[in-house]
Amino acid sequence: MSEKKRIDLYEATEEQLQFAATRPTVWEERWAKGDGFVGIPLQEWFSARLDAARVSGGKEAEDSVAACPGRQIMRIRDNIAGVFGATSAEVISTHRSKSVELPVYRLTNNRLKVRAYLRDNFYNIKLSIDSERPVNADFTGLFETAHTHEHDDYSGDDLASCYFEGFPKSLVFDYYGHTDGRRWSAQLQGYESLWAAMFCPLARMPSTMPRMPRTTTVMRETRTCSSLLQTPRLITLA
């Protein structure tokens, strides 16, 4: 297999130097390539479930779907997607918990080149982040950022793929502390922790949250993401 020809910077032409300077990094190319999964817009997915329930079971069945998973979907759509600055909110897969069909969400922030994947099974929330640039934040107090004891794939490992119901295995990553900050996964308890985990790294990236300058300022002066939970007025979840 032939190796890619290296550019001799002392002998390179102006065009070669310009190409080298503007060529996308491997991280930019990987993020631009995408995850390979076709998503359905979240509202479209939810509306289809409401319509199907109405046809099969009438108003009572429709109200049941509106309540569950409706409340969960509205939390993601109206609160989490907003604080994440999502330019799209989609469903890429489903799973079942308590006999309810639930989405695996993909939230994409195209401006900052970050994707978030999550699912809520009513017991805990699983989150995976795929970012073009490293996410630099202190998540102490929000979730485990590293292995704390010996695990095997089917025991107490929070990030074992069998616990990421509905997730494609390719989207289950390692603990945050074991990565360079670009691709990592976590288990969270409750939407307040999810809110903080989603907002914390974005507040430290340039040109983020222009409509929330006070909140952004607070976050840039905050040492740990979990400190957000001590400032309840910043978190308003329906």
Predicted TM-score of the model (pTM) = 0.79
Which residues are CB-neighbours of 228 under 8 A, at least 6 positions away? 195, 196, 199, 200, 219, 222, 234, 235
Q: Which amino acid is at 100?
A: V
Band (221; pLDDT cuts 50, 70, 90) = very low
- For residue 150, the model assigns a pLDDT of 54
| Predicted confidence (pLDDT) per residue in 5-25, tens digit | 666 767 778 777 776 666 778
- Smallest CA-to-CA distance from 194 within 88, 100, 72, 103 is with 72
Sheet holding 183-188, edge to edge: 40-41, 88-97, 100-109, 114-120, 125-131, 183-188
Helix (H) or strand (E) holding 86: none
Write the pLDDT tens digit of every residue in 53-76. 888 888 888 888 888 889 999 999
Cβ pair 154, 162 in contact under 8 A: yes
Asked whether the predicted pLDDT for residue 228 surpasses 60, the reply is no
CA 210 from centre of chain: 20
- Segment 91-123, tens digit of pLDDT: 999 999 988 999 999 999 998 899 999 999 999
Question: Residue 237 pLDDT more than 60?
Answer: no
| pLDDT value of position 224 | 59
Residue 183 has pLDDT above 80, yes or no: yes
